[in-house]
Amino acid sequence: DTEVTQTPKHLVMGMTNKKSLKCEQHMGHRAMYWYKQKAKKPPELMFVYSYEKLSINESVPSRFSPECPNSSLLNLHLHALQPEDSALYLCASSQDHSTGRGGYTFGSGTRLTVV
């Protein structure tokens, strides 16, 4: 069983819909991440939340909006997405963002399809 839980596992949404992806980690980690992964490509970093501070990849469109209610929860709000946003969305957590030790633990992902 993964210690990073993502819901839902699959999501189909229209371009006018608003939906949210949820992620919860039970590892006491201080950093959490959202990644987007297209087929046959490596994960691409979208957002980092570390020590209550959000860092944004400036290439990510504003139709993606992260929210961190507390240190163990990280949500991703989706609005007015495009078909090219269809991908596997991965949440990850790590003990400490700055030292790099321990690696990242990934959740099982949300397979998003935009129609």
Shortest Å, Cβ 96 to another protein: 10
Q: Which is nearer to another protein, 15 or 55 (CB)?
A: 55
Cα 55 to Cα 47: distance, rounded to the nearest angstrom: 6
Shortest Å, Cβ 16 to another protein: 27
Interface with another protein (CB under 8 A): 2, 33, 41-43, 45, 48, 88, 90, 97-109, 111
Shortest Å, Cβ 77 to another protein: 21
SS (H, E, C) 33-77: EEEEECCCCCCEEEEEEECCEEEECCCCCCCEEEEEEECCEEEEE
